[in-house]
Amino acid sequence: MEKNELRKEIRSRKRQFSAEELRVQSLSLISRLLVHPRIEQANTVMLYHSLPDEVDTHTAIDRLAACGKRVLLPVVLDEERMEVREYRDQACLQTGSMNILEPMGRPFQTLEEIDVIVVPGMSFDADGHRLGRGKGYYDRFLQQVPKAYKIGICFDFQKVDYVPSDQYDIPVNEVI
């Protein structure tokens, strides 16, 4: 299947679940994420601030920040690039260009200090190949952070046997 076909397929699968069903599925995925040894050992974790159709990361963000970890979130800069900024509390967030809540403030620049990155995806396969929304934001960002441990996260119905990938696609180390 081509990337675009797979995106279409995943979007149609998603429509079969209510917001409440997605919420329940999110809770179980997030509880596994929060006890992951890589997360427990990490000082600096990059997450994403979820949209309604994604695995809900909102409580995980607050829980990790509350237990003293440095939590980073992406900020979309233009058509191709994103940076990360530190999350402190809900009040530090503003709506960004893609309707995603993003931290205000300075960019976090010592990217080599990021221990774990929780990577969203439209789909993942068991080898960690990732399908995004089609703009390549994470592929461009992740190439700057080769040493971070990357955990892909998506609903079970988004996991497939095979995700097509090309030269720029950066796989994750594991999928939750």
Contact 56, 50 (CB under 8 A): yes
Candidate segments 12-20, 61-69, 121-129, 162-170, binder of Mg ion by CB under 5 A: 162-170
| Number of Cα atoms under 13 Å in the Cβ half of residue 34 | 18
Q: How far is the CB of 142 from Mg ion (least distance, A)?
A: 9
Which tokens in the block code for residue 37?
């040894």
Q: Measure the N-to-C terminal CA separation of the chain; round to a whole number of Å.
A: 23
- Site membership for Mg ion, residue 3 (CB under 5 A): no
Is residue 131 close enough to count as binding ligand ADP by CB under 6 A? yes
Task: Output the CA–CA distances (angstroms, integers) from residue 150 to 94, 120, 128, 174, in the order listed.
Answer: 26, 10, 9, 7
Q: Which of residues 2-31 bind ligand ADP (CB under 6 A)?
A: 3
Binding segment for Mg ion (CB under 5 A), chosen from 26-34, 64-72, 100-108, 166-174, is 166-174
SS3 content of the chain, % helix, strand, coil (to 5): 30, 20, 45
Q: Would you give the distance in Å from CA 115 to the centre of its chain? A: 14
With CB under 5 to 8 Å by kind, the binding choice for 48 among ligand ADP, Mg ion, none is none
Least distance between ligand ADP and beta carbon 164 (Å): 9
Q: Which of 28, 143, 144, 146 binds ligand ADP (CB under 6 A)?
A: 143
Where does this chain touch ligand ADP (CB under 6 A) — which range of 40-48, 63-71, 88-96, 131-139? 131-139
CA dihedral over 157, 162, 163, 168, signed as positive or negative: positive
Q: Which option in Mg ion, ligand ADP, none does residue 164 bind, with CB closer than 5 to 8 A by kind? A: none
Positions in the binding site for ligand ADP (CB under 6 A): 3, 131-136, 138-140, 143, 168-169
